[in-house]
Each structure stands twice: as structure tokens, then as C-alpha cells.
Amino acid sequence: MITIPSVISTALASSDYRVALLAQLPGTGMSVTDSHKAITYDGVTYAATDGLMLKTTDVNRTTNIEVNSYTITFAGADKAVYGQYSDNAHVGKTATLYLAFLDDDYELLSSSSVIEMYTGVVDTWALSESGKTSDFSIKMTNHWSTFEIVNGRFTNSSSQEELYSGDTIFEFATQDKLPLKWGI
């Protein structure tokens, strides 16, 4: 469950607020935002991509134990950026996406005006080029994609409850967050 801080509730109740996506991806220069200016949050400066962050996929929120993914696509793929991923050095590393609420000057409303939307690991990357475009995408999956099964461990609620009646430890096991990006 996502708890909405009061500063965000106040912003949502007003008629004027702005939002930005913050992506903290593994690799040099891969802390980026879709805002037109850099945003600093929790000691990390997210560089403006000047419209290069093309799109993101929706997050599939579920309480079931399953692998879900999230993809970010960048336009005008830079060789230095996808070169970091071409040897799969970042596959399996943690990546996090945040939704930041901004004021009229595109600054954070406060340090509590950022919501973690998704945390996962880099699963795959892709480069797609045509005569007119070059897109680079990074696909992240939730923690269940790298879940290490231990002999004797039960990994779903019904199996767990067969041995331990009332134990619903896996009911809310996913780390996916709600897609909360509203219009500007």
C-alpha cells in the first residue's frame, strides 16, 4: 500500500501541480528525469533528458506472486549509454522509479513529495534502429524474477497455509507500486 504524504494530498486537491518521473538506473549518467530541468532527491541529481525519455509502460499491480515488468524507452539512443548495457554488465542490478510532485518552478514541493513507484532489477535492454529513429529501452522486472528458491520453502499463500494455518506471508509480497502519473 502506498501512503500519500499530506504535501501530495494538498497538491492533488489544488488545480495546479506538476509531476515528473525520476528513474534511477544502473550505469554512469543513468539517474534521469522526464522533467525539462534536473531534480535532486535524496542526494541524487536526476539529469533532464530534454524529451529523450519517450515512454514508460504501465505497472501491473497485483498481490499474486508473479513476475511483472516495467520498461523505459529513450529516443536518440546515445552510444555511450547503450554501450554500458551491451555487455549485460547491468543485468540483475537494482533500478527504481519515483513519481515526483513539483511546484510551478519545477522544484520538488518538499522532500516528502516523491513516491516510489517501482523497484526491480534490470532484466533486458534493447536497441531499435531504423532510417529515422533510434530507440533504447531498458526492461526491469520485480524481485520475483531473481527469487532464489530454497529447498523446502513454500512460495505462495495456499502452499504456506497448508503447513502453517493462517500464515499469509506471501499475500502482499510484490514490490510493484501504483501508476500515479497524472496530467500536468
Q: What dihedral do alpha carbons 180, 67, 56, 61 form, nearest 10°?
A: -20
pLDDT at 46: 92
- Put simply, whether the predicted model's pTM sits higher than 0.95 gets the answer no
Residue found under cell 531504423:
130
pLDDT at 66: 57
pLDDT at 51: 59
CA gap 10, 13 in Å, rounded: 5
For 50-60, the pLDDT digits (tens) are 656 656 666 55
Task: State what percent of residues in the chain have pLDDT above 70.
Answer: 67
Q: What is the end-to-end Cα distance of the chain in Å, rounded?
A: 24
Question: Is pLDDT above 50 for 175?
Answer: no
Question: Is pLDDT above 50 for 61?
Answer: yes
pLDDT at 166: 82
For 123-155, the pLDDT digits (tens) are 888 888 888 877 888 888 875 545 554 444 445
Higher-confidence position of 144 and 73: 73
| Local confidence band at 108 (pLDDT 50, 70, 90 cut-offs) | very high
pLDDT at 45: 94
Q: Which residues, other chains included, contact 99 with Cβ-Cβ below 8 Å and sequence gap of 6+?
A: 19, 20, 21, 22, 114, 115, 117, 180, 181
pLDDT at 59: 57
